[in-house]
Structures are given as C-alpha cells and as structure tokens.
Structure 1
Amino acid sequence: MGRRILIVLHQERSSPGRVGQALIRRGCELDIRRPALGDPLPVDMSGHEAAVIFGGPMSANDELPFIKAETAWIGVPLKEEKPFLGICLGGQMMARHLGARVYSPADERVEAGYYPIRPTREGRHLFDDPQHVYQWHQQGFDLPSGAVQLAEGTDFPVQAMRYGKAAYGLQFHPELTTPMMEAWLEFGKERLSRPGAQPAELHYQGRAQHDATLRAWLDRFLDQWLPHENETEIKAETA
C-alpha cells in the first residue's frame, strides 16, 4: 500500500485533477473525503502522510458547519508538521485558520483565466519570473503572521505562501485539467462577465501557451513538498 494522502473536495463532481494524478504517479493512495456531503475528517494524521484541501464555490468566510470544521481542522497537520497543501479555497481556509483576512475586492474584481505571478525573494527556487497560472476566484487572502510569501500578483497580491516547513497555500489552480476547465467555463460562465475576468477564448489560448510550463511546475513543487518514494512509471498522463 502506498502512502495515504487525505484529499478534501467540496462538491460531488469535484476532482483532484492533476494533483491527484501526480500523487498516484508517485505511488500514493488517495483517501478522498467530502465533508460538505457528510464525510468525517480524521482526528489526527497518523493514518495519512499529507493532506490537500481543494477549492470550491463557497467562501472561507461562510458560516457553513463544514467550512468552519475544515478551517479548524487545518490545525491538525500544522501541529503535527505534516505536509499540507491548500488550493484556492483551501489556501484561504489556511489563511483564516492562521488569523488572516479573506476578502472580496471593493470593485468586485475577479481573476478567471491565465495571469502572471511573480516570485518573491523567498520563492525564487519555486517559480519562474513571471509564472503564468490559472485562476478562478473572486476572493483573496492576506499573508498570515508567521507565514512566508512565495509569489505575488497584481490584483490579488498573495498568490503563494508557506507556513512552517511543509504547509503551503496557493491562490491558483495547478490541478486543472482540460475537461475541468471546460466544465468551469460552462457551469460558471457568469463569472466571465465580472471585472477582471478573461473571455473564454483567452482561457484556451492561455492553456495552449502556458499549460506545459505549469504542469512541469507542479511536478517540481510536489517533489519538494512530498519527496516521492518508489515512483510508479507512467508514460502518459490524462490531460
């Protein structure tokens, strides 16, 4: 049995996408749970090597019981210093857990499409300058006290952070596959009318231009975040 990774998703149709594919390729077993649908979270990390909380259409500021429970639960991997990764909503939950603000811009600006981010001095070993990433969000988060900012953006300044040695929060979506992007553009197309959003054709153009680089970045990041053991050789990966 491979190393078990806790995967927290927020909708019935949600997928861990490329992050899940890359972890399986590294010999990991995915323990997928959906607290929004009633799945429990573990009381400790003794049965898991790491944890990933993904995104969703809800807000980290919502008073929904599962949002509050997940946000509080992030203290478990942080206390045990187990690898933790929060993506978009998951990163915002991490920021809230650590006492930082999660906010919507006053002008209701969003990011939807491919946007450049820039590494900070502490993030130069992880990111290109600039690095184009896929965004799909209407809220951002401030940098929590004690966290290290790794990448910055223009409209949403905090794009990547690290807390401690192994806990990371990302604003962007490295897990995105082509079918996932197509589904988001279909089911969330109203977001494309918001200030700052890119039209659908630019999402496809951006993917053709930047996806290979972002895919390579994800592999480099995961190698640092969760050094792999006995990586399974897979010649092709579903895109």
Structure 2
Amino acid sequence: MRPIAILQHESTQGPGVLLDHLDKNSLPYRLISPASDGNAPVDASKFGGIVVLGSDHCVNETLPWIEDEQALLQDAIRRDVPILGHCFGAQMLARAMGAKVSRNICANIGWSPIWVTPHAQQRMGLPRQVTIFNWHYDTFDIPAGATRTMYGSHCLNKGFLRGRHWAFQGHLEVTEASVTNWCAAGRAELRRAHGPAVQSEMQILKGLHERIQALHLIAEQTYHAWTRQLDRPVFVALSAASSYA
C-alpha cells in the first residue's frame, strides 16, 4: 500500500492521535514538513492518502510551499486520492476546490460545541453534537459539490466532505501534551486575542484530561471512517495447480 502523506507545518501541531490510529491499523505513512523544507511534493500518485495539518500561516499567503501543497491537493482531487484536512488543512482543501477562504467573523480559540449534520452522522458515525478544540481566525466557503458536515455558533462552516475528501475546521488530533505545549507557545497570542469564541489558557486547560478523552473517541471514529475509504492492495490466491503451471 502506498503511504499516507502527513503534511505537518508547526512543531506544536503534530499528527497526535492520528498516528496512533495509523500504527494500530498497520497503515504506512510519511511525515513531510513543507514549511521548514520550503517545498512540498506535487505528485499525489505516490500516496494512498493525504493528511494536511494546521499552520500558523494563512492559506492565501504567496509562499512556495503553500503553492506546492495546492498543486498536490489539486492533483489528489483529480486522481481521487483521499484527502483529510485539519484547520489550515481544511482551508487548503477548500481553496484547492475553488472555494473562498477569508477572515471569520471572530477568532475561534479553545473548546466549543459543534453540531454534526444528519448526513455526516451517518457517514462518520458521529453523534449530533461534539466538542472539539479550535485555534483559527479564518473560515472557508463550502466548495461546489461539497456538503457541510459540521457547523458552530461562531463559525458556520466547521466541516465539509466531497467524495473521499474530508475537511474539519478544528483539531481532532490533539493530545493533552500538544494542547499544553500549544498554549505555552501561544501565551502572548492568547493574551492579545479576544471575542466571544476565545478562551484563556486557564479555560482551555481546565478539565483537559476529560476533554481529551472525549475528543479521542470522536477522533478514532472519524479516522476509522476516513481510512476505511483508502485503496488497499488486492491479493489473489493462486491454487496449487496454477502455482506450478
């Protein structure tokens, strides 16, 4: 099976529990760091799936590695190589599908409830309402031909799917350690941020263990549903007679 490309852009925004899922199911992957490398692969045929993680950058920035990623995602869409986008990755997928990415009405940082559409409940096996972790300022329009999967009080478009390509405007992959480290690294940013959907570091870390445990159940269900779509190698058993023909 071709490896799943995991595009990571920030040290504090790693693949987290996604790696646990891939390892547990013996799914090969390749970690790629476009922001630090300065470039990204553009040929999607080398991969069985593509995962795009979060970033401190905006998808509308004119950086070589962002343009490479756009080319990779557009190639994956043409070849129907499944894509899974988290936050920045969701915005990148929306942009690759021709949708607009722009500033949200307010910053969305911390834990918040979101609602899952009936179609997504059935497709992903999720409950009607879940609580996810967020850290974003931008939002996307729903691309042509795609279906909204999640929506929130302060950000309407929290997710969409189109075929085997799924996007989440939030973070399902985080762990206790990654949230703690992210808050520490972004302490100055948290002090500057304000608005009805912004939590303080204290609010984010309160009850963190229980919040992460609940999120991991949602993440595992979602990752299982997405990886189930991946193309697997087909093995044909040969009979004893044909083996010696």
Q: Normalising to structure 1: TM-score of the pair?
A: 0.86
Bigger Rg over Cα: 2
Larger mean Cα displacement after TM superposition, 116-125 or 57-66? 116-125
Larger mean Cα displacement after TM superposition, 133-142 or 201-210? 201-210
Query: SS in structure 2 opposite 1:138?
Result: strand
Q: Deviations over 1:4-47 (max 9, x none)?
A: 11011113565211112211221122211112222654443343
| Correspondence 1:18-167 to 2 at 5 A | 18-38=17-37, 41-106=40-105, 109-125=106-122, 126=124, 127-164=126-163, 166-167=164-165
| Correspondence 1:179-194 to 2 at 5 A | 179-192=177-190, 193-194=193-194
Percent identity between the aligned chains?
A: 25
8 Å contact kept, 2:42–2:71: no
Q: Deviations over 1:84-110 (max 9, x none)?
A: 10110010011111121211135xx21
The one-letter code of the counterpart of 2:211 is H
The one-letter code of the counterpart of 2:111 is Y
| Correspondence 1:207-226 to 2 at 5 A | 207-226=208-227
Query: SS in structure 2 opposite 1:68?
Result: helix
Q: Deviations over 1:44-92 (max 9, x none)?
A: 3343211101001000111111112212320122111122101100100
- 2:31 maps to 1:16: no
- Give the whole-Å Cα distance in 2 for the aligned partners of 1:13 and 1:205: 19
User: Cα offset for 1:204?
Assistant: 2.0
* RMSD across aligned positions (CA): 2.0
The one-letter code of the counterpart of 1:80 is R
- Give the whole-Å Cα distance in 2 for the aligned partners of 1:8 and 1:154: 29
Higher helix residue share: 2
Q: Normalising to structure 2: TM-score of the pair?
A: 0.84
Structure 1 pair 188–170 and aligned structure 2 pair: CA distance change class (3 A): same
Q: Deviations over 1:130-181 (max 9, x none)?
A: 21001111111111111111111111111111012x1011101011011111
Query: SS in structure 1 opposite 2:78?
Result: helix
Larger mean Cα displacement after TM superposition, 154-163 or 185-194? 185-194
Where does residue 243 of structure 2 map in the other structure? Answer: none
- Give the whole-Å Cα distance in 2 for the aligned partners of 1:12 and 1:177: 13
8 Å contact kept, 2:110–2:198: yes
User: Cα offset for 1:211?
Assistant: 2.1
Query: SS in structure 2 opposite 1:85?
Result: strand
- Give the whole-Å Cα distance in 2 for the aligned partners of 1:201 and 1:53: 28
- Give the whole-Å Cα distance in 1 for the aligned partners of 2:205 and 2:211: 10
8 Å contact kept, 1:88–1:173: yes
- Give the whole-Å Cα distance in 2 for the aligned partners of 1:43 and 1:60: 16
The one-letter code of the counterpart of 1:5 is I
8 Å contact kept, 1:191–1:197: no
Aligned length: 225
Where does residue 176 of structure 2 map in the other structure? Answer: 178
Query: SS in structure 2 opposite 1:181?
Result: helix
- Give the whole-Å Cα distance in 2 for the aligned partners of 1:205 and 1:3: 40
